[in-house]
Amino acid sequence: MIKNCNRDCEIEETDSCEGLMKIVHKIKPQYCLVDLHLTDGIATECIENILASYPEINVMIYTVFPGSLYAKKLFQLGIHGFLNKKAPESELQVALCKFLEGEFYISADFLPLIFTLNKSYDATKINPFDFLSLKEITLIEYLREGISVKEISDKMAIMPNTAATYKKRAFGKLKIDNIVQLTQLYQQFGGQSHV
């Protein structure tokens, strides 16, 4: 599909955060199509580093993770596209071509996350996950996968007490006390926008 949009492009592939950063540092690509869930972790920190170090690189996210948790934060960082892997192949083709032409792309499903037409305040429509930092959202994803705080600290390359602090801060912002409540809140707000 990428070659259909741009026959002259060279493609490098990796399935890990470490591999992604090596490729970016080595060849400084013009475009990066990134899955958030890589074999060695969730790629949010990589994306932050890429956009901070190489703002000229266009980054598009192609993921199974729900856009309601990530899209708004990642667009604020400066990504150029966001597409869910559940999108039909026809949409993927359009998204890739627009992205490789340097255009901004976001699936219509996620537009309400970024642009709210109705400016009136309604507390029932606020997604509590919007108040989390990317690091807190990453930790929440790991917790949902059943990974312990100690293992999360290893995956995120942070101290265990820092991971515990992120968890405490995230739970406080979400006004929850345990994983069961997190799962219920995630099912309510995580899978789709309520804006």
Query: Rounded distance, CA 136 to CA 169, Å?
Result: 8
Angle between helices 44-53 and 17-27 (to 10 degrees): 10
Task: Judge if 73 and 99 occupy the same domain.
Answer: yes
Task: Judge if 108 and 128 occupy the same domain.
Answer: no
Query: Rounded distance, CA 46 to CA 14, Å?
Result: 13
Task: Judge if 129 and 99 occupy the same domain.
Answer: no
Here the CATH number for the domain that contains residue 128 is 1.10.10.10
Task: Judge if 127 and 185 occupy the same domain.
Answer: yes
Task: Judge if 15 and 93 occupy the same domain.
Answer: yes
Q: Of the ranges 27-31, 44-48, 67-71, 123-127, which one carries the lowest mean pLDDT score?
A: 123-127
**Residue 195, domain member (yes or no):** no
For residue 193, the model assigns a pLDDT of 36
Q: Dihedral sign for Cα 42, 48, 53, 54, please.
A: positive
Task: Judge if 24 and 78 occupy the same domain.
Answer: yes
User: Residue 1's closest CA among 92, 103, 84?
Assistant: 92
Q: Return the amino acid letter for 145.
A: E
Q: Are 195 and 112 in contact (CB under 8 A)?
A: yes
Domain count, the chain: 2
Task: Judge if 47 and 81 occupy the same domain.
Answer: yes
Q: Return the amino acid letter for 109.
A: D
Q: Where are the beta strands (DSSP E) in the chain?
A: 31-34, 37-38, 41-42, 58-63, 81-84, 105-106
CA distances from 85 to 12, 61, 89, 188 (A): 20, 10, 9, 20
Q: Are 138 and 74 in contact (CB under 8 A)?
A: no
User: Residue 10's closest CA among 100, 93, 72, 144?
Assistant: 100
Task: Judge if 89 and 7 occupy the same domain.
Answer: yes
Query: Rounded distance, CA 67 to CA 17, Å?
Result: 20
In the listed set 90, 114, 138, which residue is the last one of a domain according to the structure?
114
**Residue 34, domain member (yes or no):** yes
Q: Return the amino acid letter for 104.
A: F
For residue 33, the model assigns a pLDDT of 94
pLDDT digits (tens, 9 = 90+) for 179-190: 999 988 888 876
Q: What percent of the chain has pLDDT over 90?
A: 46
**Residue 182, domain member (yes or no):** yes
Tokens of 27: 């060849």
**DSSP-based three-state secondary structure for 9:** coil
Here the CATH number for the domain that contains residue 95 is 3.40.50.2300
Instruction: With cut-offs at 50, 70 and 90, classify the pLDDT of residue 63.
Output: confident
Task: Judge if 10 and 72 occupy the same domain.
Answer: yes
Task: Judge if 109 and 156 occupy the same domain.
Answer: no
Range of the domain at 56: 2-114
Residue scoring higher pLDDT (110 or 156): 156
In the listed set 93, 114, 135, which residue is the last one of a domain according to the structure?
114
In the listed set 114, 131, 166, which residue is the last one of a domain according to the structure?
114
Quick one: how far is CA 179 from the chain centroid? 21
Task: Judge if 21 and 109 occupy the same domain.
Answer: yes
